[in-house]
């Protein structure tokens, strides 16, 4: 009799512990990237100035935090205060929506050279596809510290001539810039946010050729498609595009091989990556002076295989995107030899089975009558970058079933 009682007590205790553990796990909410911009260059020195940057979320949440980067700085940099608020028109914010962001409980943070800093979470209801204003103050400093930036924001950043305006509802529009400053990630947590999709690429992923301040890059359109599907609306989209980026070598920003962990695999909640890279390796080969920049199709394939292996080692799915046409862009960037390499690489992406799936962007935007060129209706005008309409066509070419897998 006593043994049965002891067995019952032990079993009950185990069940209670298991129930508590399950409840605790259920209470843990995942962090995901709702917006991102990869650092790729340095810019002007901000000194006793405030910069306000407008970002559009991809997925909603109930808590917010941001990452600030000094990756390319030459000295430690102190930043803060930092605020996040709902964006109103232009540089202004919605009254009553402002939140102060702290770093280890402090309003300022000093970021070492080459490092980044993640803010403490703040309670804030954020909707999907909603615009936020992130304002940061760069205090006066006697050291020369060019800002770590993302060059082609395709959006306006607002800068004061001087002073801390981080909490201002009506922001003084004294200077503007087309770049991002220090801000690389906006992350959310909450019941609605579960996983991150990273779109990794060059200027075509970055959105060059789309309309400024309109959020019409192909990752933006894809985020809207995901939000329109209740089963996929928990997915955040992190744009890791850099203009001029190459797979094999540094150019405008570090190469895909050197930045892949930081800008893709290390993102919180990352489950999928869409890789669209290689056109700058091909185009750069056309006018390269150095032998290392004269690339072959096999070198690009080997580079992609390396990225695939690194993604799979982290249990992340990676989808290969075919390279879009660039005929008519002009010699030596576009050449007969380069077009041959593009076609060979696209064939390998489509048929090799190396990727977990394929997104055929080439087919989505090419001119059927001249497959080496972008369809005129989708061409931004430079015969390399799609227009906003072209980016929409690219997003529509992504099969959403690619993201329907279960944990």
Give the pLDDT confidence of 17-31 residue by residue, as tens digits. 343 333 333 345 799
**pLDDT tens digits for range 263-276:** 999 999 999 999 99
Burial class (CB in 10 A: 0-12, 13-18, 19+), 203: buried
What's the pLDDT at 142? 59
> Does residue 213 have a pLDDT over 90?
yes
Give the pair of three-digit tokens for residue 313.
Answer: 């080692």
Of 328, 52, 35, 83, residue with least CA distance to 207: 35
Give the pair of three-digit tokens for residue 396.
Answer: 């529509």
Question: Alpha-carbon distance 113 to 72, whole Å?
Answer: 7
Burial class (CB in 10 A: 0-12, 13-18, 19+), 262: middle
In this prediction the pTM is 0.92
Question: Alpha-carbon distance 370 to 262, whole Å?
Answer: 38
Q: What is the DSSP letter of 352?
A: S
Residue that wins the pLDDT comparison between 19 and 298:
298
What's the pLDDT at 324? 98
- Model confidence at 144, pLDDT cuts 50, 70, 90, reads confident
> Averaged over 44-61, what is the pLDDT?
96
What's the pLDDT at 288? 66
Question: Alpha-carbon distance 186 to 359, whole Å?
Answer: 26
Question: Alpha-carbon distance 171 to 83, whole Å?
Answer: 13
> Does residue 16 have a pLDDT over 60?
no
> Does residue 293 have a pLDDT over 90?
no
> Averaged over 370-393, what is the pLDDT?
98
Residue that wins the pLDDT comparison between 287 and 61:
61
> Does residue 219 have a pLDDT over 60?
yes
Q: What is the DSSP letter of 43?
A: -
Give the pair of three-digit tokens for residue 163.
Answer: 């002073």
Question: Alpha-carbon distance 388 to 143, whole Å?
Answer: 41
CATH number 3.40.50.1110 given to 194-403: yes
What's the pLDDT at 189? 98
Residue 370 makes CB contacts below 8 A (sequence gap 6+) with: 327
Query: In this prediction, what percent of the chain has a pLDDT beyond 70?
Result: 92
> Does residue 4 have a pLDDT over 70?
no
Query: In this prediction, what percent of the chain has a pLDDT beyond 90?
Result: 83
Average pLDDT value over all residues in the chain: 91
End-to-end CA distance of the chain: 44
* Domain boundaries, given as residue ranges, for the chain: 31-184, 194-403
* Paired residues of 64 in beta bridges: 122, 188
């Amino acid at each position: 009799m006593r043994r049965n009682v002891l067995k019952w007590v032990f079993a009950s205790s185990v069940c209670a512990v298991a129930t508590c553990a399950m409840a605790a796990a259920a209470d843990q909410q995942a962090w995901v990237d709702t917006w991102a911009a990869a650092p790729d260059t340095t810019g002007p020195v901000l000194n006793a100035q405030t910069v306000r940057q407008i970002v559009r979320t991809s997925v909603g949440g109930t808590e917010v935090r941001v990452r600030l980067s000094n990756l390319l700085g030459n000295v430690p940099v102190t930043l803060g205060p930092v605020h996040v608020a709902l964006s109103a028109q232009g540089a202004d914010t919605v009254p009553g929506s402002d939140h102060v962001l702290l770093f280890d409980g402090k309003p300022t943070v000093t970021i070492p050279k080459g490092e980044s800093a993640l803010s403490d979470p703040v309670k804030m209801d954020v909707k999907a596809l909603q615009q936020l204003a992130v304002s940061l103050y760069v205090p006066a400093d006697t050291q020369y510290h060019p800002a770590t930036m993302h060059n082609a924001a395709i959006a306006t950043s607002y800068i004061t001539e001087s002073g801390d305006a981080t909490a201002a509802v009506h922001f003084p529009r004294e200077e503007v810039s087309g770049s991002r400053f220090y801000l690389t990630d906006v992350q959310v947590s909450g019941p609605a946010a579960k996983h991150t999709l990273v779109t990794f690429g060059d200027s075509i992923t970055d959105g060059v050729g789309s309309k400024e301040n309109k959020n019409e890059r192909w990752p933006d359109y894809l985020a809207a498609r995901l939000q329109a599907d209740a089963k996929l609306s928990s997915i955040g989209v992190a744009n890791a595009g850099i203009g001029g980026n190459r797979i094999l070598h540094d150019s405008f920003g570090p190469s895909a091989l050197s930045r892949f962990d930081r800008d893709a695999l290390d993102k919180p909640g990352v489950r999928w990556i869409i890789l669209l890279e290689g056109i700058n390796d091909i185009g750069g080969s056309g006018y390269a002076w150095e032998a290392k920049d004269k690339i072959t199709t096999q070198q690009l394939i080997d580079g992609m295989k390396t990225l695939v292996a690194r993604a799979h080692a982290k249990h992340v799915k990676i989808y290969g995107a075919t390279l879009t046409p660039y005929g008519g862009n002009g010699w030596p960037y576009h050449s007969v030899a380069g077009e041959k390499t593009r076609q060979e690489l696209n064939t390998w992406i489509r048929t090799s089975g190396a990727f977990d799936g394929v997104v055929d962007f080439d087919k989505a935007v090419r001119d059927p009558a001249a497959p080496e060129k972008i369809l005129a209706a989708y061409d931004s005008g430079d015969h390399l970058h799609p227009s906003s309409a072209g980016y929409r066509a690219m997003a529509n070419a992504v099969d959403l079933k690619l993201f329907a897998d279960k944990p």
